[in-house]
Homo-oligomer: A and B are copies of this chain.
Amino acid sequence: MRRMMLSAAALALTACASAPQSMAPDTAPVAARTIPEIMASIPASDWADLDPENTLYLELPSGRVVIELAPDYAPNHVANIKALAREGFFDAAAVVRVQENYVAQWGRPEDAPAHAFQNGRATLPAEFDRPITDDLPFVRLPDRDAYADEVGFSGNFPVARGNGRAWLAHCYAMVGAGRDVAADSGGGGELYVTIGNAPRNLDLNVTLVGRVVSGIEHLTTLKRGTGDLGFYETAAERTPIRTMRVAADVPPAERTALQALRTDSASFAELVEARRNRRDEWYLHPAGAIGLCNVPLPVRGAP
């Protein structure tokens, strides 16, 4: 059971834009490679720089959290969060809530001075999902999902699809815009990151805006709040935010240069297959499948 051959049929990931396109090669089966072997030989062309204009740096006392924004899925929220960052909205922000196995959340506390909105807005209409269009990338995962009929990857994000619509999925490290009861009561001024088992029940209920690609441990290790929903009960418990900036606004020498593995690359398809059927010596039972939120979206420092 430990060593399995990788058949062409096992390359089950399907990359497509407008129409599904099989990635199965015409060649004969080849010996399956382990994850370290695959990672060590990824061609440079399969890695892509994060776009500084769609990257945020959340600066906490313990270090930097890098967030990649998803303008394909939440264009108005992404634009608004960038506008808010650029007008200093988050300079008076703090981590106000950390709920075990759920979320860490930051924004301007209720006792912060009122923000003088310029280009940014306090609230926006929800962007829970979007139409599937020909130009929207999608690489399908072949495995079952409890919440959606079809799941996979779109650009650097985990997504679900159904009824002609596509939406970002609440996997670990995804970042969303908190809201009140009304669908249009969020806007990005209050953000959260998921820090436990993927709360997929939130899909289609909150606007997801991106994902943490680096530094999530600065948020996951914070003291849990003891108030309702994990809110801190005192101001002293909050973690102050030094700044949250758009990477493009940061001098290049101070940026964290990262690259993400293209999810439409052959390397990514091979990695996913190697995770569906682990061939590392330690694994005795290859699962034969993988959950959407168990697929890591690889990131590395730019070489």
Contacts and interface: CB of A to CB of B under 8 A. Distances in A.
Interface of A: 100-101, 128, 143-147, 171-173, 180-181, 183, 196-201, 203-205, 216-217, 220-224, 275, 278, 281-285, 287, 289-294
Given A128-B285, A224-B217, A284-B183, A201 B290 contact: yes
Nearest to A144: B144
Contacts of A216: 100-101
B181 A100 contact: no
Contacts of A289: 146-147
Given A143-B146, A205-B285, A294-B201, A196 B172 contact: yes
Secondary structure at the A interface, as helix, strand, loop or mixed, is loop
Given A146-B294, A172-B196, A203-B285, 4 more contacts: A100-B216, A101-B173, A128-B285, A199-B294
Q: How many chain copies? A: 2
B278 A201 contact: yes
Contact of A100 (B146, B217, B281): B217
Given A146-B290, A217-B100, A197 B181 contact: no
A100 B291 contact: no
B146 A282 contact: no
A203 to B, nearest CB: 7
Contacts of A180: 282
A147 B294 CA distance: 11
A287 B287 CA distance: 26
B294 A197 contact: yes
Given A172-B101, A221-B223, A223-B221, A294 B200 contact: yes
Contacts of A220: 100-101, 220-221
Contacts of A224: 217, 221
Contacts of A204: 284-285
Given A100-B220, A221-B224, A201 B287 contact: yes
Contacts of A181: 281-282
A177 B156 CA distance: 34
Contacts of A147: 287, 289, 291
B200 A291 contact: yes
The 5 closest A-B pairs by CB, nearest first: A204-B285, A172-B197, A146-B291, A144-B144, A143-B146
Contacts of A221: 220-224
A207 to B, nearest CB: 11
21 contacts: A100-B220, A101-B172, A143-B146, A144-B145, A146-B292, A147-B287, A171-B197, A172-B197, A183-B284, A197-B291, A197-B293, A198-B294, A200-B287, A200-B291, A201-B278, A201-B287, A203-B285, A220-B220, A220-B221, A221-B221, A221-B224
A107 B147 CA distance: 37
